[in-house]
Amino acid sequence: MKIYILIIIIIIFNKNIHSSEIQILDEVKGTGIEIVNHSKVSVHYIGKLEDQSEFDNSYKRNEYFKFQVGTRQVIQGWEIGLLGMQVGGKRTIFIPYELAYGDNGTGNIIPPKSNLIFDIEVFEIIPPQYKELDSLQLKLAMTDDQFKIFDIRIIEEVKKSGIIPGSILSTAFDKQGNFIQKFLNDYQEIINPGDKVLFVSQNGQISSILANGFVEQLKQNNIYHLKNGIEGLKEINFEFEKIKN
């Protein structure tokens, strides 16, 4: 297997960051699966300033707005404010300017430091194409010879906790969030067609981003990530394997 190019946008996506500043002013519940990080969605929306003046309306264009959550294709307020919505659901959300277009605004449409209000209606949700395992499912995966478990953390994190027995230690990103080419080299050398690959990070955020990149950009199959990462395993008193200093 040969993979020549990997382009991954690293975004540390945290549902809790600033989430208290996003206000849901009105909501009609939908049905079915919920929007989670890396869901692909099709929506209609109306964007308004606080004085209720409208600056954008996708209904008038008669065209859905489509994007993938968690990849910074939209303002951060949207990425937080749409989480948990379902098909057919509607929300009116208030977004403070810090999570919208900031101090500068944008063009002549949105003035500096503008808080925004959006009416959003969801028409389609496509869940992430990678799979998520929880702490208990990991134990089953460890008995499956087809699973290759990659611990992608930096060495300082690994030394504090130890590693999952049988896992492969290969750091994917440095402390500045830059992708490390050696990780891709390790992946190519180890993974065979039909293998299932599980990425493990400290709390599950970085592993989900990496899994999404492998699925969306490298078109890899059988990609998994560990929900809540090492921190989730600590909660069930998982027995880690210590590494030598």
Q: Tell me the pLDDT tens digit for each residue of 61-113.
A: 999 999 999 888 999 999 999 999 999 999 999 999 999 999 999 988 999 99
Question: In the block, which residue shows the tokens 């590693």?
Answer: 163
Domain extents in the chain: 19-126, 131-235
Q: Which fold has domain 131-235?
A: Oxidized Rhodanese; domain 1 (3.40.250)
**Domain 19-126, classified CATH 3.10.50.40, yes or no:** yes
- Give the residue, 19 or 45, on which the prediction is more confident: 45
**For residues 74 and 206, what is the distance between their CA atoms, to the nearest angstrom?**
20
> What is the model's pLDDT at position 10?
44
**Sequence-ordered strand ranges (E) for the chain:** 23-28, 31-34, 40-49, 54-57, 65-68, 86-87, 90-95, 116-126, 131-133, 147-151, 168-169, 196-200, 223-226
- CATH fold match for the domains 19-126 and 131-235: no
The closest alpha carbon to 99, from 85, 111, 114, 84, belongs to 114
> What is the model's pLDDT at position 177?
87
Question: In the block, which residue shows the tokens 């605004």?
Answer: 105
| Structure token digits, residue 225 | 């990530």
The closest alpha carbon to 81, from 20, 139, 38, belongs to 20
CB 235 within 8 Å of CB 138: no
Task: Grade residue 18 by pLDDT with cuts at 50, 70 and 90.
Answer: very low
Question: In the block, which residue shows the tokens 């951060």?
Answer: 76
> What is the model's pLDDT at position 150?
98
pLDDT tens-digit readout, 27-62: 999 999 999 999 999 999 999 999 999 999 999 999
**Which whole number is the average pLDDT over 224-242?**
95
| Structure token digits, residue 122 | 């969801």
Residue 218 has pLDDT above 70, yes or no: yes
List, edge to edge, every strand of the sheet that includes 196-200.
Answer: 131-133, 223-226, 196-200, 147-151, 168-169
